[in-house]
Amino acid sequence: MIYQEIVKLVGQYITYQEFIKNVPEANIDKHEWYEILNGDSYRSNKGQLRKAYNDAFEEDWHQKRTWALNLLNDKDEKTSD
């Protein structure tokens, strides 16, 4: 299959419909598409990336909030001296 390597590369980031729209000469049906990807499809990859981004955001947000609260607590300690 000529397009198998291309599907492995781009299938993580685009849907089957987008691929066929952009490469209409590809003779790949939906079943072959998902078989080639072996579960590493657009939907699963997008979900994994979203979770990783959200986890990183939550950690960063927590650090910034902790910094802000510590700044206020330090100010309170200095004004009470």
Gyration radius (Cα) of the chain, Å: 24
* Residue position matching structure tokens 């998902």: 34
pLDDT at 81 over 60: no
Confidence of residue 74 (pLDDT cuts 50, 70, 90): confident
**Residue 77 to residues 44, 70, 72, Cα–Cα distance (Å):** 49, 10, 9
* Model confidence pLDDT, tens digit, residues 16-71: 999 999 999 998 999 999 999 998 899 999 999 999 999 999 999 999 999 999 99
What is the residue extent of each domain of the chain? 4-80
pLDDT at 8 over 70: yes
- In terms of Cβ atoms closer than 10 Å to its own Cβ (0-12, 13-18, 19+), residue 72 is exposed
pTM, entire model:
0.66
pLDDT at 76 over 90: no
